[in-house]
Structure 1
Amino acid sequence: MTKLLTARVEPAGRLRSLTRRPEFTLVLVALAGFVALAIATNGNLLSAGTLGAFFRFLAVPIVIGLAQMVVLAIGQMNLSVGALTGFCAMVAAWAMLEAGLPAPLAIGVALLVGLVAGVTNGLLVVFTRINGFIVTLATMTIIEGLRYGVNGPDTFQGYSPGLREFGRASLLGLPVVFLVALAVAALVAFFFARTVTGRQLLASGGSPFAARLSGISNDRSIVIAHALSGLLAGVAAVITVASSGSVNSSIGDDLLLPSFAAPIIGGVALTGGAVSVAGTCLAAFIVRLVDVLQAQFDINRRWIDLIVGAVVLGAVLLGTARQKLLRRSS
């Protein structure tokens, strides 16, 4: 009889625990927002072309949000993530058009540039002992100059037809670049949930002192987190080059706010020690809905930035309040 009661209580407890998670709230908000926007656009959002474009341009916000999330996991920030994405995109296009490299090699070069820049960020933080916010603010400015130096104000276009075709391709009705972004998200989730290095990053972010006593190198965690962030920025750059068909020196300028909005709205703490890949992806979906709302109804972009910024601020304040309540209850 006791076993039967326990069996009945456990599913109820699991359901209660699920509904209390921030991701559950985000799912409800995302569904409600999508339905409301579909109704407001008289069903235009549900057309094959519009829906395909929606998910195609959702790929970069997901990956760029993950690029910021991995640094937030150790309690730091990467302000250079948008500029680095644009720089890697410019390098990939330059490699194809000016250096004559085939698309696979150009993609490899872009990923390598992102990885090297990320490692450099991490090493600068470790050796200077300056906060990552300041270090990446400086490298962001440097990278912006380098990005402009690749081709000045001119636009790169007419590169690999195969890569551009890949950016437009669909599989089972979904854009391939969106499926790539989901695959990247799955790999990041596996990294933090199942690998020793991923758990060490979370330990360093949660309590650097306790991590050090456990034999974990916080410096190593900092370098790995920034390196992974740079690599993900390179992935976002490749997706941008494939799906846009042309790149210029302004690529990446509008990615900094979305890079913070997705993980913070998704429930990632600024203090480090916790990540939410699902929450980051869902929040990127919600921010993308706001972008579609702006495009459909010709709302001034500044108002959209105000809304997203206010939501990010609200998420930070709610997260801080939740942490205080948890500390009091414990």
Structure 2
Amino acid sequence: MSAPPVERTDVEVESRDRAKPRRRLDPGRAQRLGLLVVIAVLVISFGSASSAFYDQQLTIFPLLRDISILCVVGLAQLAVMSIGHMNLAVGRMAALSAMVMGLAYQELHLPLYAGLVLGLLVGAAIGALTGWIISATGVNSFVVTLAMDFVLLGLVSLVYAQFTTSAAFTVKPAGMDELRKYSLADVCLGPVCGSPAVPQLFLFTVVAMLAVGWLYSRTRVGRELLLVGSNIKAAQLSGIPTGRRVIGAHALSGTLAGLAGFMLAVTAGSFTATIGSEFMIPSFLGPVLGGTLLTGGAVSVIGTLLGTTLTQVIRQGLTLLGVGLESLNIYLGAILLLALSTGRIRTVLSERKARTSR
């Protein structure tokens, strides 16, 4: 004889429903999703306002090329932000690396990628030196990198004045023009070619993103860098060589800055003393908008790409609509201020929510 069905009371049903775990969207993932939605809305809006925004050769190709360069710049800043530092000399490190590459091409007649490797080594060396000074002296990274910025500004200017007559190395090694002009479709060998709007330089960005993402998500060194950024005292007590991690983070930043300098020089067609002068604000905008914390301990490589894309879409769209450079700088400054405030806003809101739930 079967037992009668057990009736569940409303209290039992409610308690079981409460016991079920609710899936919540990760805050970092939610932020990246929000950026993606905003970018899509802006692309549609700017395209509706001006059909030229969708022109592959006049708009999309240079837009993606700028995004490729500035995303690498953002990754250079992300490397030091992961340990709670900042690199105000990121633009000058790019200029120094690019200067060494131009000098190598003109005086040593090195091939394209041999000169690139030499420039990256110089960027890593100057970054490591900066990190060593910070670690050895205990001086704040803001002060050290600001001083390094002035030192490199003078050094780069002196070298260009010594070896050039027009503050530029104009020798172009074989393959440089192809990198600047051609898209992925021009080098595609298979039946399905890449888009004619995607520049070849984007491949450098993909490699940089994969390398940085692998470092922070798959390696012990990456996890230790994030621990140093979260709490350097706790990291020291855990046996982490914090001094070496600081040097390593700044060396990585210098290397990525050097890569960005190379990409900008390829885009410009020459290696000039002014390379990197506009890198400061974009280097912070991309990672901060993407979810990387200024205080360290959390990074987002995909978020850096999305944050950079957002700012460049805004810049390109407003330029097509006839907005002047001064107004563009005001808008980008406001975006940076808002991005820097989001962390504090989230903290305040979470604290209020915690108090009201008690």
**TM-score normalised to the size of structure 1?**
0.91
Q: More displaced, 116-125 or 170-179?
A: 170-179
Gaps of 5+ in 2: 1-15, 185-193
Distance 1:20 1:139 in 2: 36
Letter in 2 for 1:47: D
Gaps of 5+ in 1: none
Note the alpha carbon deviations across 1:21-65, whole angstroms, 9 max, x for none.
Answer: 2111111111111111222222x2222202112111211100000
Checking the alignment, whether the CA contact within 8 Å between 1:211 and 1:218 is kept in structure 2 is yes
Distance 1:213 1:327 in 2: 29
Distance 1:19 1:187 in 2: 20
Per-residue deviation, 1:213: 1.7
Structure 2 partner of 1:32: 41
Structure 2 partner of 1:191: 215
Structure 2 partner of 1:303: 327
Residue number among 65, 88, 100 corresponding to 2:74 in the alignment: 65
Distance 1:17 1:125 in 2: 34
Per-residue deviation, 1:18: 7.1
Letter in 2 for 1:13: R
Residue 245 in structure 1 maps to residue 269 in structure 2? yes
Distance 2:211 2:116 in 1: 19
Q: More displaced, 171-180 or 228-237?
A: 171-180
> Which of these two proteins has the greater Rg computed from alpha carbons?
2
Distance 1:294 1:143 in 2: 33
Structure 2 partner of 1:157: 170
Distance 1:156 1:47 in 2: 32
Structure 1 partner of 2:134: 125
Structure 2 partner of 1:94: 103
Structure 2 partner of 1:46: 54
Q: More displaced, 111-120 or 48-57?
A: 48-57
Q: More displaced, 259-268 or 197-206?
A: 259-268
Please tell me the root mean square deviation across aligned C-alpha atoms, in Å.
2.1
Q: 1:327 to 1:18 in 2, by over 3 A?
A: closer
Distance 1:294 1:300 in 2: 8
Distance 1:322 1:161 in 2: 50
Residue 233 in structure 1 maps to residue 273 in structure 2? no
Q: More displaced, 251-260 or 319-328?
A: 319-328
Q: 1:19 to 1:316 in 2, by over 3 A?
A: closer
Letter in 1 for 2:53: L
Structure 2 partner of 1:285: 309
Residue 267 in structure 1 maps to residue 283 in structure 2? no
Checking the alignment, whether the CA contact within 8 Å between 1:62 and 1:262 is kept in structure 2 is yes
Q: 1:143 to 1:126 in 2, by over 3 A?
A: same
Letter in 1 for 2:110: L
Distance 1:56 1:302 in 2: 23
Letter in 2 for 1:168: K
Distance 1:246 1:133 in 2: 31
SS of residue matched to 2:175: helix
Letter in 1 for 2:23: G
Structure 1 partner of 2:13: none
Structure 1 partner of 2:12: none
**TM-score normalised to the size of structure 2?**
0.84
Per-residue deviation, 1:302: 2.2
Structure 2 partner of 1:108: 117
Distance 2:315 2:98 in 1: 22
Distance 2:136 2:35 in 1: 39
Distance 2:207 2:118 in 1: 21
Per-residue deviation, 1:17: 3.9
Structure 2 partner of 1:80: 89
SS of residue matched to 2:212: helix
Note the alpha carbon deviations across 1:103-152, whole angstroms, 9 max, x for none.
Answer: 22211111011000110010010111100110000001111112212223
Checking the alignment, whether the CA contact within 8 Å between 1:91 and 1:150 is kept in structure 2 is no
Note the alpha carbon deviations across 1:146-170, whole angstroms, 9 max, x for none.
Answer: 2212223522224114122123232
